[in-house]
Structure 1
Amino acid sequence: MSEYTVSGRFQARDGWQEFTTSVEAPNEDVARERTYANIGSRHGKKRTQVDLGEVTAE
């Protein structure tokens, strides 16, 4: 599996909160899905409240 860096933002109380996270996944699509799951789990956000930006392989 490869390491991907995913950056984006999610809706917070005071507006949009930027984030960058590192995810281990077999491809870019799975890295996006895991990021949605992680942000949703940690911050209680739905997919519509998360805006993924750039996904790059490390």
Structure 2
Amino acid sequence: MSEFTVRGRYQARDGWEEFETSIEAVNENVAEEHTYTNFGGRHGLNRSQVEVEEVEAQ
């Protein structure tokens, strides 16, 4: 498994907030899916409320 840095933004109460997180995954697509899952579980956001702009291998 590799480590990926995922950057993007999510919809918060006061507007859009940027984020950057590190995810361990098999490939870029899986890292992006884990990001959607994490924001949905932790913050109760739908996929449409999270915009992934970049997935970069470290």
Same fold (TM over 0.5): yes
Moved over 3 A (4+): none
Gaps of 5+ in 2: none
**CA deviation string 1:8-58 (max 9, x = no partner):** 001001000110000000000000000000011111100011000110000
Aligned residues between the structures: 58
Q: Percent identity of the aligned residues? A: 64
CA RMSD of the aligned region, Å? 0.5
Partner of residue 30, structure 1: 30
Gaps of 5+ in 1: none
Partner of residue 56, structure 2: 56
What SS class does the counterpart of residue 51 from structure 1 fall into? strand
TM-score (norm 1): 0.97
